[in-house]
């Protein structure tokens, strides 16, 4: 099923997602649909709430050195918890729910994550670089946060002003 990606400022993006309790075919279908929606839009990550499902699940697929997103590099992360975070890194972030806008955001340089897969099995993973950035960005979505919330005040004001202007121009 084709899923629509919800766009800012849709209020659903502000919902706090709930823990996944059932690892069933509904979850399988959701994750499969999310992967299609993400790849169609050349995204690196997508959270369930971005397709309107307020559950604590997201997917990440960081491109390899040739820029390809290989199916075997797809990670499905359910009920994640960051257990360790270190360092700081600046990265030019974007979001499929905020098209055509990117800005530098500071994040932890590396994170250690505990999570479940689509079958409910428990895993741990250490991430750094873009992988760590993507995880932190998607974790924010689970709590109703967007990367623009992390902008310094002046940049945030500029973003809102430009967005209002663009909305007026587009009617
Ligand atoms: Co996003």
The CATH number that applies at residue 79 is 3.90.45.10
Q: How far is CA 35 from CA 2, 59, 60, 61, 111, in A?
A: 10, 7, 9, 9, 23
Integer distance in angstroms from the first to the last C-alpha of the chain?
Answer: 30
CA distance 120 to 113: 15
Q: How far is the CA of 125 from the centre of ligand 1 (A)?
A: 21
- Reply yes or no on whether 162 is catalytic: no
- Domain assignment present for residue 6? The answer is no
The encoded tokens of residue 137 equal 């960005």
- Is the pLDDT at 2 greater than 90? The verdict is no
Q: How far is the CA of 55 from the centre of ligand 1 (A)?
A: 15
What global pTM score does this model have?
0.96
Query: How large is the average pLDDT for residues 51-77?
Result: 96
- Domain assignment present for residue 1? The answer is no
- Domain assignment present for residue 89? The answer is yes
- Domain assignment present for residue 147? The answer is yes
pLDDT, one tens digit per residue, over 147-158 is 999 999 999 999
pLDDT of residue 60: 98
- Domain assignment present for residue 42? The answer is yes
Which positions ≥6 away from 106 have C-beta within 8 Å? 88, 89, 90, 150
* Domain carrying residue 52: 11-169
In the chain, the number of structural domains is: 1
């Amino acid at each position: 099923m084709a899923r629509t990606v919800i766009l800012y400022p849709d209020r659903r993006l502000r919902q706090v997602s709930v823990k996944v309790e059932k690892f069933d075919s509904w979850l399988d279908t959701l994750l499969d649909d999310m992967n299609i929606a993400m790849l169609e839009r050349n995204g690196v990550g997508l959270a369930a709430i971005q397709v309107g499902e307020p559950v604590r699940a997201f997917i990440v697929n960081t491109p390899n050195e040739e820029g390809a997103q290989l199916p075997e590099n797809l990670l499905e992360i359910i009920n994640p918890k960051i257990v360790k975070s270190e360092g700081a890194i600046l990265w030019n972030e974007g979001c499929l729910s905020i098209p055509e806008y990117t800005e530098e955001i500071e994040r932890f340089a590396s994170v250690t994550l505990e999570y479940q897969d689509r079958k409910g099995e428990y895993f741990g993973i250490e991430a750094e670089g873009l992988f760590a950035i993507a995880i932190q960005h998607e974790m924010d979505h689970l709590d109703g946060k967007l990367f623009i919330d992390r902008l310094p005040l002046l940049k945030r004001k500029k973003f809102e002003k430009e967005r209002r202007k663009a909305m007026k121009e587009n009617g």
